[in-house]
Structure 1
């Protein structure tokens, strides 16, 4: 087994990684309860904001947790040629109206390759789609030198 090493990512490495990804996990809390959900996202490297594409079904648990807090954590990770990479974005989340979105953000959000899977027993027309923005207060990333990808290509 290869020796595992890890190093902190610098700001440029974090920007490049987040720009190359489209899915991550949003973690929310309400008192002693926690909730995490995979989401599609777009990244703006100018202000380091993360834009989330959210779908809310009637009675949405995700909506209840978002209503209970304005501070979130968002994790993006992948097994790359360099090893496992992960970035943690922490910050304030704000729901945005479609009218308030910059045209470039709308274009990126519409171009996301969103994996389709059935998560509700109701039609997609019953789901309300919104965009939220995480304004980061802290962003950190690591690269772990071990990768299964490297082992399978040898």
Structure 2
């Protein structure tokens, strides 16, 4: 199998075609990875998440402590395995700084409230979080001659 780097167009196409990935957060010498649904917008170099937090949430504690985050998206395609790694800073957005397109896109994300959180939605706090991408890379591990 050959391994090749993805170009910017391939990375953007792949991110637009995917809906889930793993957000990696860090606090001191401890790390925390959480699978999340996401929306990618290449017009502003942002990946958006609609995050739900239960009271005392580990995810919230790590989000607040993380200066630099990594988000990994991967999947099998007809050409082989693809993965994209996005690095950058996280911003918790307020209603005042979320444009309507982002708000609508994040509302459409598949968030399995009851299966994951095991509590009513009313008991959860929700925020839209943006990963401002500072570095983006991708690889394809596929067939020879790609």
TM-score, normalised by the number of residues in structure 2: 0.91
How many equivalent residue pairs?
143
Residue 54 (structure 1) aligned with residue 51 (structure 2): yes
Residue 36 (structure 1) aligned with residue 33 (structure 2): yes
Corresponding residue for 2:141? 144
CA distance in 1, matches of 2:57, 2:130: 19
| Matched position secondary structure for 1:79 | strand
Q: Which has the larger radius of gyration?
A: 1
Consecutive unaligned residues in structure 1, runs of 5 or more: 147-154
Runs of 4+ residues over 6 Å off in structure 1? none
CA distance in 1, matches of 2:111, 2:5: 29
Shift in Å, 1:119: 2.3
Corresponding residue for 1:105? 102
Corresponding residue for 1:150? none
Is the contact made by 1:15 and 1:45 (CA closer than 8 Å) also made in structure 2? yes
Is the contact made by 1:49 and 1:134 (CA closer than 8 Å) also made in structure 2? yes
Structure 1 residues 12-66: Cα deviation after superposition (integer angstroms, max 9, x where no partner): 0000000111111000111111100001111111122101111100000001001
Corresponding residue for 1:71? 68
Consecutive unaligned residues in structure 2, runs of 5 or more: none
CA distance in 2, matches of 1:57, 1:112: 18
CA distance in 2, matches of 1:65, 1:138: 21
| Matched position secondary structure for 1:118 | helix
TM-score, normalised by the number of residues in structure 1: 0.87
